[in-house]
C-alpha cells in the first residue's frame, strides 16, 4: 500500500500561517505582555498595585483622560457624519467616476498624518491660510486665534481618520442590494422614506463600525494635539510618552496605559449595549431574543422617529418622479453637495503646502511671498535630510518585502479556508489594527532595548513589519477573494507541483494585488512615526522622525518643501497603482464581453 500523505490539507494550511502567527506573537504579543506586566511592578521589580492606584487617582491622568475621551467622542461623531454622505455618493457611482472619487479618498488616506497636520498648522496659523486670506481681503483687523485650540486638534484628528470612516461605511453600503430602491418605490415609499426606513437601517452596521473605529483610533493620537493644541489639549498618549521620554518611569507609563485601555474598552462596550450596534457589523438581534413588549415599543419608536426624519428631510430627496421631458433631472442633490464639500475638505489642506514650499519668506505664511527654490535646496543638500529619506526608503522596501513574504502565504491559507488557526490570525490582525500604535511602539521599545535592537535598522524593519503585515493580509485576502482555487487543483492533475503552481498560476493571476500590497506596505512603513520615534536612534533617523523633530522645534518652509515631495511621491504611487489595477481589470472585462 502506498504511504499515506504526511500532511492533511488543514495541516498544510496551518503551516502557511505559522510564520505570521510566530512573528506577531514574538514581536507584538510578547512586548505588549511585557509592558503591561510592568504596571504591576515597582522599581525593584516587586509585585504591587501602587502604580495602578497612582494612575487611577492622579489628577493629571484624570484630566487628560477626560480630555482624550471627549476629543475622541466628538471626532468619532464628526468623522461618521462627514464620511456618510461621501460614502453614499461613492456607492452610487460606477466606472471611471467611482475610480476618480475613490482616488480623492485614498490620496489623503495615504499621505502621512504628519504632513496633513503640518498642512492644518498652515491653514490655522496666525499668518496662515484663513487669517492671511481674511486680512488680505481687508475683512478682519486682527488675526483670529485658531491654532492651539481644541477645534484645531479635532479638525486635525477628523481629517486624519475620515478616509478610513468612508471606506468602512462604503463597505456596508456595497452590500445593499441596489434593487431595493425600485422595490420601495413600487411599494409606495418616497425617496426620503426609502432612505430612512430601508437604506439607513441596512447601512447602520457600517455607521457603527466607523464610529467605533474612529473612536478607538482617536484615543492613541499624539501628533495633532502636540502640533495643533495647547497644554489644555494634552491627550493620554502624550502623557504616556512623557513618562518614558522625560521621566523614564516605565512602570507608571504601563499603569496609565492599562487604566486607559480598560476605560476605553468599557466605553465601547457600553456604546455597543446602548445603541445596539455591533462591532462585527452583523445584526445584533439573535433569533428569539429581545422579543416582547419592550422590544416592540422600541421598534415602534424608532420607526416613528425615522418616519419623522423622512418627513423633515423629504425636500432634500425630491419626489422620485422622473423629470418631465425636455428638462434635465437635477444633477446635484443634497448628498452630492455634502459629498463634494467633504472630498474637497479632505484634499485641500495639503495643497496649500505646495505654493508655500516655494516661498521666498523665512516663515510659513499665507499668501506666500515671492518665488524661491531655496527650501528645496535646503532639503536636497542637507545630508541629514537625505540620509533620513534614503533610510526610510530602504527600511520601507525591506519591510514591504518581509511583510509580503509573511502575509501572502497566510492570506492564501485564510482565503482557501483550510486553516483551523484562522481565529488566531484574525485576532492578531484585528489587535494590531486596533491597538494604539504608540502603545505598541513603546512596548517594542522596551523589549527591543533588552535585545539590543534599538537604534538598528533591523529593529526598525521588525517594528514596522508588525504594522504592515496585517495590511498585507487584509489586502491579499481581498485579492484572493476572486481567485478560483480549482485552478490549483487543475494544475495538480496536469502535472504541476504545489510550488510550481504557486509561481506560474497563482502569482501571475493575483500579481496586481501583490504589487499594490507591496506598495502600500512600503508607504505604511515609509511614513511610520511611532516605531521610528523610539527604535531609531539620534543619528540614524527616518524621514518621519526627522520631520517630527523639526516640527517640534520650528515649522519652517523646509517642512513645506519636504511635505510637497512626499505629497507628490504618494500621489504618483497611488495613481500608478490605480492605473495598473484598472488596466488589469480592463483586460479581463474586455475578454468577458466576448464570452
Partner 1 sequence: MERPDHQQREIKLKLHDVHKSYNNLHALRPTSLEVRTGEFVTLLGPSGSGKTTLLSIIAGINFPDGGMVEIGGVDATYLPSRKRDIGVVFQNYALFPHLSVFENIAFPLRMRGMAATEIDIKVRRVLETVNLATVGDRLPSELSGGQQQRVAFGRCVVYEPSIILMDEPLGALDKRLRDSMQEEIKRLHRQLGTTIVYITHDQTEALTLSDRICLMNQGAIVQSGAPRAMYFAPESRFAADFFGIANIFAYRQTDTDGTVEIADLQVTGKPGRDVAANGQMMVRPQCFAFADGPDDRPSVPGRIASLEQYGLYSQYGVILPSGKAVTVQRLTDSASSSWAVGD
Under the binding rule (CB under 8 A), the answer on residue 500 touching partner 1 is: yes
Nearer to partner 1, 37 or 489 (CB): 489
Q: How many residues bind partner 1 (CB under 8 A)?
A: 26
Tell me if 95 contacts partner 1 by CB under 8 A: no
198 binds partner 1 (CB under 8 A): no
Min CB(595)–partner 1 separation in Å: 5
Our finding on whether 494 is near partner 1 (CB under 8 A) is yes
Half-sphere exposure of 136 (CA within 13 A, CB side): 12
CB 82 within 8 A of CB 158: yes
Q: How far is the CB of 576 from partner 1 (least distance, A)?
A: 21
Residue indicated by cell numbers 462591532: 279
Cell 413600487 appears where?
Answer: 186
Orientation angle between helical segments 511-526 and 457-480, nearest 10 degrees: 150
Tell me whether residue 301 or residue 490 sits nearer to partner 1 (CB atom).
490
Q: Which stretch binds partner 1 (CB under 8 A): 216-224, 249-257, 333-341, 501-509?
A: 501-509
Contact code string over 149-178 relative to partner 1, x by CB under 8 A: ------------------------------
Contact residue for partner 1 among 491, 531, 560, 562 (CB under 8 A): 491
Contacts of 262 (CB under 8 A, 6+ apart): none
Nearest approach, Cβ of 589 to partner 1 (angstroms)? 9
- Residue 595 is a binding residue for partner 1 (CB under 8 A): yes
The span from the first CA to the last CA of the chain, in angstroms, equals 46
Nearer to partner 1, 6 or 294 (CB): 6
Closest CA relative to residue 204, chosen from 146, 147, 281: 281
Q: Does 490 bind partner 1 (CB under 8 A)?
A: yes
Residue 539, burial from CB neighbour count under 10 angstroms (0-12, 13-18, 19+): exposed
Q: Angle, to 10 degrees, between the axis of helix 557-594 and the axis of helix 95-110? A: 150
- Measured distance CA(330)–CA(444) in Å, rounded: 55
Is 484 near partner 1 (CB under 8 A)? yes
- Min. distance of Cβ 282 from partner 1 in angstroms? 25
Helix (H, G, I), strand (E, B) or coil at 163: helix
Nearer to partner 1, 59 or 591 (CB): 591
Figure out which of the listed residues 1, 289, 330, 499 binds partner 1, where binding follows CB under 8 A.
Answer: 1
74 φ/ψ sector (left φ>0, alpha ψ -120 to 50, else beta): alpha
* 328 is a contact residue toward partner 1 (CB under 8 A): no
Nearer CB in complex with partner 1: 327/594: 594
384's CB contacts (< 8 A; 6+ apart) are 546
Q: Segment near partner 1 (CB under 8 A), from 292-300, 324-332, 338-346, 491-499?
A: 491-499
CB of 498 to partner 1, least distance (A): 9
The answer to whether the peptide bond before residue 367 is cis (omega within 30 degrees of 0) is yes
Alpha-carbon gap, residue 245 to 215, rounded angstroms: 26
Stretch that binds partner 1, among 213-221, 241-249, 400-408, 480-488 (CB under 8 A): 480-488
Residue 230 or 588: the one with the smaller Cβ distance to partner 1 is 588
Nearer to partner 1, 134 or 496 (CB): 496
Nearer to partner 1, 141 or 495 (CB): 495
Work out whether 495 is an interface residue with partner 1 (CB under 8 A): yes
4 near partner 1 (CB under 8 A)? yes
Identify the CA nearest to 161 among candidates 116, 206, 101, 228: 116
Q: How far is CA 168 from CA 94, 110, 204, 236, 279, in A?
A: 18, 16, 11, 26, 12
CA-to-CA distance for 380 and 186, rounded, in angstroms? Answer: 64
Kindly tell me which residue out of 103, 309, 433, 505 binds partner 1, with binding defined by CB under 8 A: 505
Q: Which residues of 55-70 are buried (b: 16+ CB within 10 A; e: fewer)?
A: bbebeebeebbebbbe
Is residue 286 at the binding interface for partner 1, with CB under 8 A as the rule?
Answer: no
Instruction: Kindly tell me which residue out of 301, 487, 575, 586 binds partner 1, with binding defined by CB under 8 A.
Output: 487
DSSP symbol at 502: I
Q: For partner 1, which residue of 175, 489, 537, 554 counts as binding (CB under 8 A)? A: 489
> Cell triple for residue 498?
504545489
Cα–Cα separations (whole angstroms), residue 140 to 121, 129, 132, 133, 137 = 20, 13, 10, 10, 8
Least spacing, CB of residue 476 vs partner 1, in Å: 18
- 509 forms part of the interface with partner 1 (CB under 8 A): yes
308 alpha carbon, distance to own chain's centre: 35
Footprint of partner 1 on residues 564-593 (CB under 8 A)?
Answer: 588, 591-592
Binding site for partner 1 (CB under 8 A): 1-5, 484, 486-487, 489-497, 500, 505, 508-509, 588, 591-592, 594-595
Amino acid at each position: 500500500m502506498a504511504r499515506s500523505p504526511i500532511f492533511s490539507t488543514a495541516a498544510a494550511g496551518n503551516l502557511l500561517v505559522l510564520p505570521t502567527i510566530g512573528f506577531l506573537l514574538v514581536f507584538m504579543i510578547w512586548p505588549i505582555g511585557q509592558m503591561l506586566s510592568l504596571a504591576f511592578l515597582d522599581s525593584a521589580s516587586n509585585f504591587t498595585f501602587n502604580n495602578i492606584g497612582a494612575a487611577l487617582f492622579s489628577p493629571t491622568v484624570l484630566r487628560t483622560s477626560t480630555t482624550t475621551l471627549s476629543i475622541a467622542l466628538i471626532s468619532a461623531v464628526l468623522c461618521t457624519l462627514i464620511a456618510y454622505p461621501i460614502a453614499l455618493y461613492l456607492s452610487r457611482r460606477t466606472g471611471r467616476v467611482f475610480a476618480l472619487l475613490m482616488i480623492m479618498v485614498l490620496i489623503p488616506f495615504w499621505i502621512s498624518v504628519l504632513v496633513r497636520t503640518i498642512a492644518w498648522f498652515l491653514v490655522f496659523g496666525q499668518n496662515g491660510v484663513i487669517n492671511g486670506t481674511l486680512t488680505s481681503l481687508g475683512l478682519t483687523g486682527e488675526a483670529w486665534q485658531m491654532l492651539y485650540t481644541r477645534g484645531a486638534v479635532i479638525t486635525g484628528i477628523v481629517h486624519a481618520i475620515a478616509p478610513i470612516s468612508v471606506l468602512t461605511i462604503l463597505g456596508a453600503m456595497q452590500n445593499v442590494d441596489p434593487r431595493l430602491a425600485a422595490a420601495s418605490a413600487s411599494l409606495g415609499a418616497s425617496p426620503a422614506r426609502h432612505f430612512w426606513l430601508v437604506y439607513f437601517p441596512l447601512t447602520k452596521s457600517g455607521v457603527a463600525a466607523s464610529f467605533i473605529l474612529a473612536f478607538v483610533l482617536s484615543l492613541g493620537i499624539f501628533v495633532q494635539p502636540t502640533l495643533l493644541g495647547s497644554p489644555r489639549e494634552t491627550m493620554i498618549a502624550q502623557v504616556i510618552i512623557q513618562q518614558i521620554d522625560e521621566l523614564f518611569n516605565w512602570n507608571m507609563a504601563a499603569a496609565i496605559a492599562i487604566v486607559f485601555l480598560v476605560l476605553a474598552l468599557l466605553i465601547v462596550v457600553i456604546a455597543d449595549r446602548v445603541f445596539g450596534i455591533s462591532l462585527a457589523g452583523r445584526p445584533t438581534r439573535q433569533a428569539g431574543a429581545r422579543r416582547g413588549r419592550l422590544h416592540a415599543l422600541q421598534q415602534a419608536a424608532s420607526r416613528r422617529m425615522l418616519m419623522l426624519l423622512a418627513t423633515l428631510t423629504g425636500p432634500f430627496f425630491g419626489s422620485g418622479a422622473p423629470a418631465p421631458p425636455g428638462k434635465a433631472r437635477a444633477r446635484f442633490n443634497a448628498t452630492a453637495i455634502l459629498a463634494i464639500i467633504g472630498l474637497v475638505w479632505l484634499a485641500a489642506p495639503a495643497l496649500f503646502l505646495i505654493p508655500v514650499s516655494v516661498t521666498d519668506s523665512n516663515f510659513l505664511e499665507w499668501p506666500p511671498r515671492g518665488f524661491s527654490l531655496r527650501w528645496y535646496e535646503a532639503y536636497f543638500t542637507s545630508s541629514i535630510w537625505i540620509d533620513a529619506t534614503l533610510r526610510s526608503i530602504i527600511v520601507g522596501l525591506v519591510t514591504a518585502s518581509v511583510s509580503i513574504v509573511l502575509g501572502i502565504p497566510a492570506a492564501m491559507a485564510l482565503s482557501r479556508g483550510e486553516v483551523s488557526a484562522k481565529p488566531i490570525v484574525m485576532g492578531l490582525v484585528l489587535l494590531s489594527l486596533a491597538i494604539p500604535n504608540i502603545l505598541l511602539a513603546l512596548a517594542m521599545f522596551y523589549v527591543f532595548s533588552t535585545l539590543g535592537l534599538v537604534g538598528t535598522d533591523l529593529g526598525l524593519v521588525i517594528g514596522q513589519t508588525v504594522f504592515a503585515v496585517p495590511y498585507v493580509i487584509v489586502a491579499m485576502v481581498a485579492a484572493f477573494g476572486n481567485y478560483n482555487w480549482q485552478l490549483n487543483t487543475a494544475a495538480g492533475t496536469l502535472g504541476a507541483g504545489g510550488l510550481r503552481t504557486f509561481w506560474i498560476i497563482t502569482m501571475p493571476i493575483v500579481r496586481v494585488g501583490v504589487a499594490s500590497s507591496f506598495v502600500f506596505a512600503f508607504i505604511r512603513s515609509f511614513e511610520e512615526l511611532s516605531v521610528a520615534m523610539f527604535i531609531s536612534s539620534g543619528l540614524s533617523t527616518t524621514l518621519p522622525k526627522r520631520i517630527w523633530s523639526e516640527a517640534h522645534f520650528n515649522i519652517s518652509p523646509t517642512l513645506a518643501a519636504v511635505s510637497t515631495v512626499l505629497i507628490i511621491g504618494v500621489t504618483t504611487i497611488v495613481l500608478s497603482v490605480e492605473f495598473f489595477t484598472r488596466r488589469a481589470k480592463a483586460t479581463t472585462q474586455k475578454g468577458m464581453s466576448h464570452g
